[in-house]
Amino acid sequence: MSKYIVKRLLYMIPVLLGVALLVFTILSLTPGDPGSIILGITAKKEDIAALNTQFGYDQPFFIRFFNYVGDIIFHFDLGTSYATRQPVMDSILARFPNTLLLAVLSMCLSAILGISMGIFSAVRQYSVMDHVCIVVALVFASMPGFWLGLMMLILFSLKLGLLPSFGADSLRHFILPALTLSLPSAAGLLRLTRASMLETVRQEYIRTARAKGASNKRVIWRHALRNALLPVVTTLGSGFGASLGGAIIAETVFAMPGMGTLMTTAIRQKDVPMVMGATLFLAVLFGLVILAVDIMYAFIDPRIKAKYQNGGKGRE
């Protein structure tokens, strides 16, 4: 098992290099240079050029790229932002807790809502409540997240005055953004859990269990759920990655200082070090989450654990 984890961690290195190259390339294709973006159109050409030189932006593409990667590897330094002239790491660390809290909260919310309602729906297949759940889930899954956010903002902040409209000062500030982010994904999870439960119930071993006279409850909780949750856990894992991405939009709607708003601003300002730093930071996190999900898999499904112990090749 630990051999497998080490192997996976090592594999992250080339992937991260790939991510760095990919984003760096796209960014270098964006027009404009940081000097003129920061100083504006009334600035003198010399001042702009001086600033660009100061940023090292006058160097050719590959030199800039290797310098950047070199700094990360040898000095453990994500560089200095063009726009803020502060270390990128500081900006990230100042905002990351908000995004993490938002992502974790919304993932928990959607897991609790989605899985419980999914089981509920599956157990009472074709009942009125099942239909209500399915319809509600469908509506939320089909909604643009930011639209839902704006609607809730009007209702809960402006009209009812129950919740704050912006910022990240207290847990209360996270309620609306977390709901915005979690409701659509909870809807997806509900559908998935329900389908997965229904499919599992039809499997041979469940029939066998039933035939052996196990109670309905026992069949569901002991046998069906465990197996039905497998695909759900995968989705939840990649869902965490998605909610980190989705946070970009939720943070914009609720003016929350997080990674999302940080990156959108940075992309617009062509703040290369900031975009790179934030992307790599998220990519590392994402890689770790996927790894954690794979390990979790092993605990839920003993067959996979056996595969790892045979020095297996991952999930293929």
Partner 1 sequence: MKKTLTLLAAICGLSMFASFSAYAQEGKTDIIIAVDADVETLHPTDFSTTVEMTVLNQIYDTLLYVNPDGSEDPEPRIAESYEISEDGLDYTFKIRDDVTFHDGTPVTVDDVVFSIEMYKASQYQGSQISVLSSVEAVDDSTVVCHLDTPYAPFLLGISSPNISSKDYYEEDPDGFVTNPIGSGPYKFVSRTVATSLELEANEDYYRGAPAIKNVTFRVLPEIASRALALQTGEINFAEIDASVLAQLEANPAVTISEVPTSSFAYVCMNIEKEPFNNPLVREAVNYAIDRENLVNVCYDGKAEVNSNLCAKHRFGYSEDQPQYTYDPEKAKELLAEAGIETPYNLGTLLVAEKYANLATVVQNDLRAIGFEMEIDTREFNSYIGSLTSGDYTITTLNMTLEGDTQTLEMAFTTDYIGMANNARYSDPEMDELFNQTRSEVDTEKREALFDQILTKAQEEAIYAPMCNPLTLYAYNTDLKAPEFVLEGNYYLYDFAW
Partner 2 sequence: MSKSRKHAQLSEFWRRYKKNKTAVMGLILLVMIVGMALFADLIVPYEKCIEQVGADRLQGPSMAHFFGTDEFGRDLFARVVHGSRYSLLIGLATSLMALAIGAVLGASAGYFGGVVDNVISRIIDVFMCVPPVLLSLAVVAALGTNLRNLIIAITVSCIPGNVRLIRSVVLTTAEQDYVEAAKSYGTSNARIIFRYVLPNAMGPIIVNTTMSISTMMLSAAGLSFIGMGIQPPSPEWGALLSNAQTYLFAAPYMLLFPGIFILLSSMAFNLVGDGLTDALDPKLKD
Distance CA 237, CA 243 (A): 10
Q: Which of 10, 14, 42, 160 binds partner 2 (CB under 8 A)?
A: 14
Q: How far apart are the C-alpha atoms of 165 and 182, rounded to whole Å?
A: 18
φ, ψ of residue 163 to 5 degrees: the values are: -130, 150
80 bridge partner residues: 87
Question: Three-state SS string across 126-142, please?
Answer: CCHHHHHHHHHHHHHHC
- Name the segment binding partner 2 (CB under 8 A); options: 16-24, 39-47, 55-63, 75-83: 16-24
Chain residues in the site for partner 1 (CB under 8 A)? 30-33, 36-45, 47, 50-51, 81, 83-86, 90-91, 94-95, 135-136, 139, 151, 153-155, 157-161, 164-169, 252-255, 257, 261-262, 265, 268-270
Using an 8 Å Cβ cutoff, are 214 and 269 in contact?
A: no
Distance CA 3, CA 155 (A): 52
Distance from chain centroid for Cα 181: 10
Tell which positions 272-301 bind partner 2, by CB under 8 A: 275, 279, 282-283, 286-287
Smallest gap from residue 294 Cβ to partner 1 (A) = 34
The interface mask with partner 2, positions 257-276, x = CB under 8 A, is ------xx--xx-x----x-
Q: How far is the CB of 88 from partner 1 (least distance, A)?
A: 12
Choose the contact partner of 26 out of partner 1, partner 2, none; CB within 5 to 8 A by kind: partner 2
d(CA 229, CA 184): 19
* Residue 53: CB atoms within 10 Å: 12
Query: Considering CB under 8 A, how many residues would be counted as binding partner 2?
Result: 49
Task: Tell me the C-alpha distance between 189 and 239, whole Å.
Answer: 10
219 interacts with, out of partner 1, partner 2, none, CB within 5 to 8 A per kind = none
Given 5, 27, 83, 295, the residue binding partner 2 (CB under 8 A):
27
Angle at 183 between CA 178 and CA 184, to 5 degrees: 120
Site for partner 2 contains 15 (CB under 8 A): yes
Distance between CA atoms of residues 40 and 12, nearest Å: 40
List residues binding partner 2 (CB under 8 A). Answer: 14-16, 18-19, 22-23, 26-27, 29-30, 134, 138-139, 141-147, 150-151, 153-154, 158, 195, 198-199, 202, 241-242, 244-246, 248-249, 252, 263-264, 267-268, 270, 275, 279, 282-283, 286-287
